[in-house]
Amino acid sequence: MIQRRSDSLLLQPCDVHPSQVGLQVIGVFNPAVAMLGDEYCMLARVAERPSELRAGWTPLPRWRSGTTEVDWIRDEDLTHVDARVVAMKNSGDLRLTSASHLQIFRSMNSGGERWEAVAALLPEGPWEEYGIEDPRITRIDNTYWITYVAVSRSGAATALMSSTDLLTFHRHGIIFPSENKDVVLFPDMIAGDFVALHRPNPNSHFCPPQIWLARSPDMIHWGRHEFVLGGVHAWEGDRVGSGTPPILCDEGWLTLYHGSTRSTSVGTVGCYSAGALLLDRDQPGRVLGRSSEPIMQPTTAFELNGFVPNVVFPTAMLDRGDELQVFYGAADACVASACFSKQSVLDSLQRKTSAEYYNEIT
C-alpha cells in the first residue's frame, strides 16, 4: 500500500434524510465529484430499505412513478446471496435488498470536508426500477457527463446523463446494456472519439474479470471494444472494474480501479481494494503500468465495518498538482476521501507492455 497523506470521513447514513416516510438510509457512498468553479459538487448513491420489520418476511423495495413500493417475500422462498442481493428460489431471479437514488451535495470548504444536501435525483422508468447507483462525473468542455448504473429486472446496465450546472440533468438513456457497469469517461476526445472504460460482467466465466475500452462518435453509440486489463492478482481475482475517470499527467492517463478477493464464506463479499492504472496518452487501450499490489486497502474503522465490511471503492479523483485527492465509498455505508502523493502512485506501478499483461490472462 501507499501511505495516505490524509483521510477523512465525509458523509454517513445519519447525515442523510430518507427520500420518503417508511424508509431508512443504510448507506451514502460511491460518490462522483467535480469542481464547479470554486465549489465542490458531489453526486452520491443513497441506499434505502423499509424500516418496517415482519417476522419471517423480507422486504424488497423497488421504484415506481417516483415513489418506493415494497414486495414482501417469505424468507423460506429466498436464498441470501450476500447482504446486498437475494435470489428467488423458484426462479433464481435476483433482487436487491435496498433501492438506491442519487443525492446532490455541495461544499465551499477548501478541502471538501463539509457538505450540504441540495437536491435528489430519483429513478425514472422501467430500466431504473430497482434503483440508480454509482455515478461518475467527467467534464468535457462545458458539459458534465454522468455515467451511472440503472438496475432493473433486466439487470445492471449503464446509463448517461449530462448537465451544465450539476443541478439540472438531461437523461440520455442506456449506453451499455446489461450486464455492464463501472463505466468511466475520458475528459478529452482522443483521435476524434469519446473514449470510455467499462466492465463487461458475463454470466459465463471463461477468464478472470476484465476491464475493456470502447469508443464513440457522439457519446451514445459505442463500439470498437478492446480488452485493457484482467484481474490476475489475488486481491482482484473475483471482481475488477474502473473506479475514477482518468486524469492526464506527463506519463499518460492515470486512473484508479477496484478489485475484490474471492470470499471464503457463503453469503459474504470479498475484500475490495484499489489499484492504479497508467494508459498511453494517444492509444488509451495500451497499458503502460498497473498495480501488482493494492495502493489502498480497508484499514480504518469506517472501511472495515459497515453494510458490506472491508470495502474501499474509488469513484472520483481530483488532480491537485503533486497530490491526488481521491473520493471513495467505504464499506457500502459512507463517503470518504484520502490524499496521496501523485509521484508515489506512479512509482508504485509495475511497468510491462500490453502484450505482457494480456499474456497473464491467457
CA–CA separation, 75 and 88 (whole Å): 10
Domain locations along the chain? 6-361
The secondary element (H helix, E strand) that includes residue 237 is none
Name residue 114's beta-bridge partners. none
Q: Tell me if 310 sits within 8 A of 304, measured CB to CB.
A: yes
- Residue carrying C-alpha cell 438506491: 100
φ/ψ of 304, rounded to 5, equals: -85, -25
DSSP 40-58: EEEEEEEEEEES---TTEE
Surface-to-core class of residue 362, CB atoms within 10 Å of its CB (0-12 exposed, 13-18 middle, 19+ buried): exposed
Long-range contacts (CB closer than 8 Å, 24 or more residues apart) made by 55-59: 58/86, 58/97
CATH assignment of 6-361? 2.115.10.20
Task: List the chain pLDDT tens, one digit each, 362 residues.
Answer: 788 877 899 999 999 999 999 999 999 999 999 999 889 999 999 999 999 999 999 999 999 988 999 999 999 999 999 889 999 999 999 999 999 999 999 998 766 778 999 999 999 999 999 999 999 999 999 999 999 999 999 999 999 999 999 999 999 999 999 999 999 999 999 999 999 999 998 776 778 889 999 999 999 999 999 999 999 999 999 999 999 999 999 999 999 999 999 988 877 889 999 999 999 999 999 999 999 999 999 999 999 999 999 999 999 999 999 999 999 999 999 999 999 999 999 999 998 765 665 555 55
Residues whose CB falls within 8 Å of the CB of residue 98, separated by 6 or more in sequence, listed in order: 26, 27, 47, 48, 49, 61, 84, 131
- Residue carrying C-alpha cell 499490489: 293
User: What dihedral do alpha carbons 135, 169, 188, 224 form, nearest 10°?
Assistant: 70
